[in-house]
Chains A and B, each alone.
Chain A
Amino acid sequence: MAIITMRQAISQALWEEMDRDERVIILGEEVGLWGGTYAVTKGFYDHFGPERVRDTPIAEGVIAGAANGAAMAGLRPVAEIMTINFAFLAMDQIVNHSAKIHSMFGGQIKVPLVIRTVGGGGRQLGSTHSQTPDVVFAHFPGLKVVAPGTPHDAKGLLKAAIRDENPVLFIEHATLYQTRGEVPEGEYLEPIGVSKVQRSGRDVTIVSYSKMLQVSLQAAEQLAAEGIEAEVVDLRTLRPLDMGPVLQSFRKTNRAVIVEGGWRSFGVGAEVAARIYEEAFDHVDAPIRRVAQQEVPLPYNRELEQMMLPQIEDVIRAVKEVL
C-alpha cells in the first residue's frame, strides 16, 4: 500500500486509463497547457499530446455536448467541468442528452462518458462557487453519480467510471484534494453503485459520502473516546443508490444520522431516511437525524461560511440526540 493524496489518486486513475485505452481522451477548460485548475491533469498534455488532452473554450454546453457526441461515436471522453456550479450551464446536455439518449432511441446508442467536476463549499468562493448540488444530478435515471470520499475509492471508482458503458458524473470535493489515504500498488477497480462500511461500530449508523465522510469519520473517532461506537457507511454512489449496507447496519444499530454537504431540503438525508423508514421501520428506535448545510446561499466571510457548513460537532450532537 502507498499513501497518496486524493489529487494523486484521481490523476493516477486518469493516467492509467489513458495508457490502457486509446479511446480515452480528456477535454475541458485548462486541462492541457495549464495542467488542470486543480492540477489533476498536470503533465498530461506533454505526455499524451494535444489530440488527447484538449483545451476547450469556456463553454460548458459544448464541452459536455461534444463529449456526448464523441462518446456516441465510440470514444471514451472524460470531460472536465471546472466546478459543479458551472455544470448548470451544461445541465441540458447532462440531463436531456447524456441521461436520455440510450433509452430514448431504444438502446441503439451508448454514451460512455465521464464528466469530472468539483463541488463543495469551504473555500471562501462565495455563493455561486461553493455549492453541493449533487442530489440535483442524482435525480435523473440514466445518469450515474459518483462522489468518492477517500483516495482509494476515488482511484478505483474513476477507473470503473471510465470503463462504464453509461454516462457517469464524477464529483470531486474541492477541499479533499490534499486528503491522504492508502492505495494499493497494483491495478484495481471499485464498483459503481456499491456502498461501503468505512468504519465498524455497534451503537449508531452514520451515513455519508464525499467530504462529509471525512467529517463523519473524525466525529466517530471523537465519539469512540466517549465510548460510543459509530458505524460509518459511505454511499460513494448517489445513483444508483445502494441501500444494502445502510439497512444492514441500521438493523444492527437501530439508530441513524445522515450527514451531507448540501442543503437538507430534498437532500440525500431525506432520501436515505425515507428508505430506512420504508424498509426497516420495525428497527427504528429513535427518529433519524439529518446533518446538512444551513439553508442559505453560502457567505464569503470565513467564520460565517464555516458556521453554515456541517462540522464535526454537529455530527456528534446529532448522534447524541439519537442515542
Chain B
Amino acid sequence: MDRQELIRLYYQMVLIRRLEERSAELYQQDKIGGFLHLYIGQEAVGVGVVSARRPQDHVITAYRDHGIAIACGLTAEEVIAELLGKETGCSKGMGGSMHLADVDKRFWGGYAIVGGHLPLATGLALAEKYRGTDTATICFFGDGSTNIGYFHEALNLSKVWDLAVLWVCENNQYGMGTAVERASAVSEIRRKAEGYGMANAQVDGMDVLAVRQATLEALERVRQGEPFFLEAMTYRFRGHSMGDPERYRTGEEVRKWQEGDPIGRFYDHLLKEKIADQAALEAEEARAEKEVEQAVRFAEASPDPSPEQVYDLVYVK
C-alpha cells in the first residue's frame, strides 16, 4: 500500500470520528431526530474492510451505518444532510441516520431491522452469480444479529448456493446492552460459521491494516465462489445509541478499550514507520474537521424535502 493510500485511510477514520462527534452535538441540539448510533471506536473495521474492496463490490450493513457510508465514499455533506432530514441527504431525508445509501457507490444501505439485511446480501450475491461475475458482496452486521433466524437462513443459503458473500461480524461485545456471553450459546462467534462448513477467521478490529489484510485474503476466496466469515473484534466507545445509560459495562472496561483506540494506534504506526510526520497527520485532522464543519453548514442551509416527494416515492411510477 502506498503512502498516499495509507494517509487516505487515516483521513477516513478521522473524518468518521469527527462526523460522529459532531452528530452527537447536533442530536443534543435536537437537530437530528430519531435514533442515533455512533460508530466511534469501530472505525478500523469499516475503513479496513471497505479499503479492500473493488469499486463494483456490493456493501450492505445495519443501522450503525455512518462510518461504512463514509468508507464507501459518501461525502460528509450528504450524510449530515440526511441526518438533518434534508432533501440533499443521500436518501433525500426519507431514511435518516439508520438508512443511508448510495447505490452509485454500491452502498446498498443501512438497515434497521436486526438481521433483516443478511438475506438481502444473499440476493445481491445471487444476482452476481447469475450474471457470472466475480463481484463480491460484503455484508456487515453486529454480534447481536447472530442469534436471529435470518443469520442462520442467510449463512446456510450462501453456502448451499456458493454465493460470493463476505460476512463481516463487527463484534463490539454487546447487542444493545446484552453481552455476547449472555445472548449467544457460542461466544466465539466465528465458530457459528463452522456449523455451515464455512471458512472463517477472526481479526483484531482495532487495527485497520490487519482488518484490511484479512479482508483481502477473504475476498480472494470469496471471488472463487464461496462465502467467508470474518469476525472483527471491536468495541463501541459510546452507548448503543444516544441516551444509553450504560449500566451494563464498567467505565474501566471502556477505558481499557479506549487505550487501544484504532485511530491512535494507526497514528502511532504511521509515525513509527515514518510514513507521515506529525504535521502531515495534523493537517489531515484539520482537513477532516473542515469537511465536517462545511457539511454541517451545507446541511443546515439545505431545504426540507417536499410533501409531494413522500407520496411520489411510495411506488416506482
A residues at B contact (CB < 8 Å) = 25, 51, 54, 56-57, 59, 61-62, 64-75, 77, 92-93, 96-97, 101-110, 112, 141-142, 144, 165-166, 240
Contacts and interface: CB of A to CB of B under 8 A. Distances in A.
Given A65-B119, A65-B154, A73 B124 contact: yes
Nearest to A97: B116
Contacts of B126: 66, 69-70, 73, 75
B90 A62 contact: no
B58 interface: yes
Nearest 6 Cβ contacts at the A-B interface: A69-B123, A65-B119, A106-B92, A73-B127, A62-B153, A165-B316
B93 A142 contact: no
A108 B123 contact: no
Given A57-B156, A62-B153, A65-B118, A108 B95 contact: no
Given A97-B120, A107-B92, 15 more contacts: A62-B154, A65-B116, A68-B123, A69-B121, A69-B124, A69-B126, A73-B124, A75-B127, A92-B113, A92-B116, A107-B313, A108-B103, A108-B104, A109-B109, A141-B314
Contact of B93 (A54, A93, A96, A106): A106
Name, among B93, B102, B123, B127, the residue most crowded by chain A CB atoms within 10 Å (CB to CB): B123
B171 interface: no
A17 to B, nearest CB: 16
18 contacts: A51-B130, A59-B153, A62-B118, A66-B120, A66-B122, A69-B119, A69-B124, A72-B123, A73-B123, A73-B124, A97-B111, A97-B113, A103-B314, A104-B91, A104-B99, A106-B93, A107-B313, A108-B101
Nearest to A62: B153
Given A72-B108, A73-B58, A141-B314, A59 B157 contact: yes
Nearest to B125: A69
Q: How large is the interface on B (under 10, 10 to 19, 20 to 34, 35 or more residues)?
A: 35 or more
B248 interface: no
B46 interface: no
A299 to B, nearest CB: 30
A93 B116 contact: yes
Contact of A67 (B113, B123, B125, B161): B123
A61 B124 contact: no
Name, among B93, B122, B130, the residue most crowded by chain A CB atoms within 10 Å (CB to CB): B130
Interface string B110-146: 0101001011111111111010000000000000000
B34 to A, nearest CB: 13
Contacts of A105: 91, 94-95, 99, 101, 103, 109
B267 interface: no
B103 A69 contact: no
B257 interface: no
Interface of B: 58, 89-95, 99, 101-104, 108-109, 111, 113, 116, 118-128, 130, 149-150, 153-154, 156-157, 160-161, 310, 312-316
Contacts of A109: 101, 103, 108-109
A39 B60 CA distance: 36
Contact of A68 (B120, B128, B156, B314): B120
Name, among A56, A59, A106, the residue most crowded by chain B CB atoms within 10 Å (CB to CB): A106
Given A92-B113, A165-B316, A57 B160 contact: yes
Contacts of A69: 119-127
A59 B103 contact: no
Contacts of B313: 102-103, 106-107
Contacts of B154: 62, 65
Contacts, number: 137
A310 to B, nearest CB: 31
A240 B89 CA distance: 29
A104 B315 contact: no
Contacts of A108: 91, 101-104
Given A70-B127, A110-B316, A165-B316, A65 B122 contact: yes
B113 A72 contact: no
A67 B156 CA distance: 16
A61 B120 contact: no
A262 B13 CA distance: 55
Contact of B153 (A25, A61, A72, A142): A61
Contacts of A65: 116, 118-120, 122-123, 150, 153-154
A75 B130 contact: yes
Contacts of A165: 315-316
Nearest to A25: B130
B9 to A, nearest CB: 27
A51 to B, nearest CB: 6
Nearest to A67: B123
Contacts of B150: 61-62, 65
B130 A96 contact: no
A142 B113 CA distance: 17
A96 B104 CA distance: 23
A154 to B, nearest CB: 22
Nearest to A240: B315
Contacts of B161: 54
B149 A70 contact: no
A69 B58 CA distance: 11
A96 to B, nearest CB: 5
A77 B119 CA distance: 14
A59 B155 CA distance: 12
Nearest to A165: B316
B315 A142 contact: yes
Contacts of B92: 106-107
A93 B157 CA distance: 16
Contacts of B125: 69
Nearest to A96: B113
A107 to B, nearest CB: 5
